[in-house]
Amino acid sequence: MANVTVIGAQWGDEGKGKVVDWLASRADLVVRFQGGHNAGHTLVVGDQTYKLSLLPSGLVRGKMGIIGNGVVIDPEALLSEIDRVIGQGLKVSPETLRIAENAILILPLHGAIDRAREAARGEGKIGTTGRGIGPAYEDKVARRAIRVCDLAEPETLSFKLDELLLHHNTLLRGLGAPTFEKQALLDQLLALAPRILPYVEPVWERLDEARRAGKRILFEGAQAVMLDVDHGTYPFVTSSNTVAATAASGSGIGPSATGFVLGIAKAYCTRVGSGPFPSELFDDVGKLLGERGREFGTVTGRPRRCGWFDAAMVRQAVKVGGIQGIVMTKIDVLDGIPELKVCVGYRINGKKYTYLPAAMRAQAAAEPIYETFAGWSSSTKGARSYAELPAEAVKYIRRVEELIEAPVTLLSTGPERDDTIMMRDPFEG
């Protein structure tokens, strides 16, 4: 049996949480491998709604959850999330959750510098959540970051805080923002250590043992390919690599073990924050998609920008993300719309493109080239087989498969766990 890696194939918010939750019923371990608490997954289970930012979605299924070394962790946010879901009845303990000892910590100063820089950008702001994810990744690359394992060594914490504050307080003063005192940060971290450290281990060793034992591992990505720091719509991206290859480096396992790669894509398209969005709609249809799809950010609460499905962009994500099969979500949101459109390419300064170029001005100038489809009047909501779908919906899906050069292996027809049609079992490879 193969392992499975789940990543987003658009700009995030595609419904990865539901898909991972659905797949987790047949996995042994679920691993988060990148991102921070700027990403959010909403899982609807009966009358309970779980909103997860750092915790692996498999915990809702009672599966072992692992936070890999590629994740940046705000310890206060993590503990708050643990307390919240325990209050909803989930079991979260060192027996069900493990954290990589070499994962990077997000400190209050990271959020402060994030917000101060975003404010200084004015109209040129990137649209970050202001939670310190980017600055924490910067410290990781600059080799001055505090890691989870450092919580066990007060002397190391003290030394590293000196270097961190030398750097960040200088920047904060330059931006006219309040600075931080070392002792307050040190006391805060030392107070958190007894609650965090029981979860900590070299998770690469657990994953290697699981692989050797033939256990099924589900790797859970955050954000999406078009927010990848290398391959996305830079600079309007996240601060980590979101492609499937990161599942290996972000968890400490060989690339051959990441298994079958599922890309998640809505039947339309959404984006939160700033950046190019060629197929964005500003009319009543865009408003309708937002209302029906309840398009508000899980973490930020910000309304999502909505538009037609962008097949050219998803095809690009398939290629660079290593996607072998697509999960199309929210097909039911398109019910009753008489005419549908799919972006099949772009016109940029009079030239046609089948992909979105890397250059910032070219991306901003991209105009969509559309293919038009007849909509369907009957409902797809809750369908459990292709036979229950309207013929026009099947035609829409088949044409999308051709355009993105990847099969739709799973189809989500509603928010409930079992509102899912499976054409191919990803765990079968």
Residues noted as catalytic = 13, 41
Q: Which residues face 417 on adjacent strands? A: none
Counting other chains too, the contacts that 42-46 makes at CB distance below 8 Å and 24 or more residues apart are: 42/17, 42/18, 42/298, 43/17, 43/18, 44/18, 44/415, 44/416, 44/417, 45/21, 45/417
Number of Cβ atoms within 10 Å of the Cβ of 120 = 13
What residue type is assigned to position 208 of the chain?
D
Q: Angle at CA 14, nearest 5°, toward 130 and 321?
A: 90
Relative to beta strand 41-45, strand 351-353 is: unpaired
SS3 content of the chain, % helix, strand, coil (to 5): 40, 20, 40
Quick one: CA dihedral 124, 299, 71, 8, positive or negative? negative
Residue with tokens 């659905």, as numbered in its chain:
22
What is the spatial distance between Cα 82 and Cα 37, in angstroms, rounded to a whole number? 13
